[in-house]
């Protein structure tokens, strides 16, 4: 029983900390510059470019 109480307290503390960080406007600063080799992403899917997986990944990665 004490273990369940401890887990509940830890969850509550986590939620309060997360809410505090969100409430105070915490954001990561700036943007990360990627090296030139990582600027373009290529997809190769075994099922080809007509597969649903390929289409979803392509749509999600387009900027």
| Longest Cα separation, the chain | 55
pLDDT in tens, 8-57: 999 999 999 988 888 777 666 777 777 888 777 777 777 777 788 888 88
Q: How far is CA 28 from CA 20, 21, 22, 31, 54, in A?
A: 15, 11, 12, 9, 31
| Other residues' Cβ atoms within 10 Å of the Cβ of residue 57 | 14
Give, in order, the Cα–Cα distances in Å from 39 to each of 8, 13, 15, 35, 36: 44, 40, 36, 7, 5
Confidence (pTM): 0.38
């Amino acid at each position: 029983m004490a273990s369940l109480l401890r887990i509940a307290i830890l969850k509550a503390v986590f939620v309060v900390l997360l809410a505090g960080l969100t409430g105070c406007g915490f954001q990561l600063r700036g943007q990360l510059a990627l090296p030139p080799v990582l600027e373009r992403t290529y997809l190769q899917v075994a099922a080809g470019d007509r597969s649903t997986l390929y289409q979803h990944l392509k749509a999600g990665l387009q900027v």
